[in-house]
Amino acid sequence: MNKKSIFYGVSLAALCTFSMASSALSGELNILTWEGYADPSVIEPFEAATGCKVSATYVGSNDDFAPKLAAGGGVFDIVTPSIDTTKSLIDAGFVQPIDVSKIEAWDDLYEKFTSAEGLHKDGKIYGVPYAWGAIPFMYLKDKFPTPPTSISVLWDPELKGRVSLWDDKSALYVAARLNGDMNIYNLTDEQIAAAQAKLSEQRPNIRKYWATAGELVDLYKSGEVWISNTWGGYQSSLLAAEGIEVVEFIPEEGAEGWMDSNMIVAGTPNEECAYQFLNMASAAEGQAGVFKVNGYSSTNPVAARTFMSPEEYSALHQDDPGYMDSLLLWTNLGARLPTYTNAWNAVKSQ
């Protein structure tokens, strides 16, 4: 059975489960999330089973969440930030505590994620882990007869106009690692300045800083970009579907790791639908959806065994806790965030 047939089998079972487990609700969920996290293949069965209608707004960076919530006037009910952003949303009062007794799959989720500091405050839990992965690098296979192994290749003068980096402060993390500064979430002012200078040096190679998954895919499809960083598993699968062969790699300087969680916006009038959504997202139906659409690893390894083949389970490191530990998992920058953000904005304004 292929991945698609497994996924639709899970969705059908989920639809029946929802229908038997709860009466139809009346509500509308407005979700602020990432591309692929509100795919119709997941949302339509959820809506049919619960009566909760879902509308999604997509972000291109974690820096989008706080401003949109601050300006939203109560528009959003659920947000899906990464672990480096959750604490700032909690501290700002944008999100409310989660009653984990209402999350049926809670005990099946990786303890590494449910215990993450960024989801906890004053003995309360504020998010339900949803998906995780790495930020590797990716290149067009036919443009690199010798496979690159270091991020230094992104500074190669031969690649003038052929490089893209994510339009995000994490570009500083890349440059810092190249400089040998591995404590990337606690860089000194001098180290941030050095990373900024390194990115300025790279500017002739940059075709464009990509803002969305679709934008990066289009840059590869048009042949404008040959190498970039990427949301591991996602853009590469979209390009493969177009017949474009790309290769992802973890450079010798290491890779960042991320984990996204669903959080309930404080004061939502649609709390019952929100909990229905969080249950779906953390159970097999939602986990299968993000695997099918985005290619990301599952935060629920118990559910993942029901829709991944043994080979897929191993390829996504579901059985390899050491891989998680090897990644430089994104961390909240706290009071240092403006310094990082200002440095990145200065690079972009050149």
Q: Are 61 and 156 in the same domain?
A: no
Do 100 and 153 lie in one domain? The reply is no
**Is residue 247 domain-shared with residue 271, that is, in the same domain?**
no
- How many distinct structural domains can be found in the chain? 2
Domain co-membership, 97 together with 234: no
For 284-329, how does the pLDDT look when each residue is reduced to its tens digit (9 = 90+)? 999 999 999 999 999 999 999 999 999 999 999 999 989 999 999 9
Do 144 and 121 belong together in one domain?
no
- 95 and 56 in a common domain: yes
Residue 105 belongs to a domain with what CATH number? 3.40.190.10
Residue 271: Cβ-neighbour burial (10 angstroms; 0-12, 13-18, 19+): middle
- The verdict on 208 and 339 lying in the same domain is yes
Distance CA 78, CA 95 (A): 9
On whether both 231 and 340 belong to a single domain, the answer is: yes
In-domain check, residue 327: no
Instruction: Provide the residue type at 178 as one letter.
Output: L
Q: What whole-number distance in Å separates Cα of residue 55 and Cα of residue 76? A: 9
pTM for the model stands at 0.89
Structural domain harbouring 211: 137-254+332-348
The span from the CA of 38 to the CA of 1, in Å, is 24
- Say whether both 213 and 315 belong to one domain: no
Q: 269 and 314 share a domain?
A: yes
Residue 39 maps to a domain: yes
Helix (H) or strand (E) holding 52: strand 52-58
Per-residue pLDDT of the chain (350 residues; tens, 9 = 90+): 333 333 434 444 444 444 333 445 668 999 999 999 999 999 999 999 999 999 999 999 999 999 999 997 679 999 999 999 999 999 999 999 999 999 999 999 999 999 999 999 999 999 999 999 999 999 999 999 999 999 999 999 999 999 999 999 999 999 999 999 999 999 999 999 999 999 999 999 999 999 999 999 999 999 999 999 999 999 999 999 999 999 999 999 999 999 999 999 999 999 999 999 999 999 999 999 999 999 999 999 999 999 999 999 999 999 998 999 999 999 999 999 999 999 999 999 98
For residue 172, is it within any domain?
yes
The C-alpha angle with vertex 221 and arms to 7 and 152, in degrees rounded to 5, equals: 100
Do 215 and 337 lie in a common domain? Answer: yes
Residues 224 and 283 in one domain: no
Query: Per the domain annotation, does 84 fall within a domain?
Result: yes
In a domain, 324, yes or no: no
Helix (H/G/I), strand (E/B), else coil: 249: strand
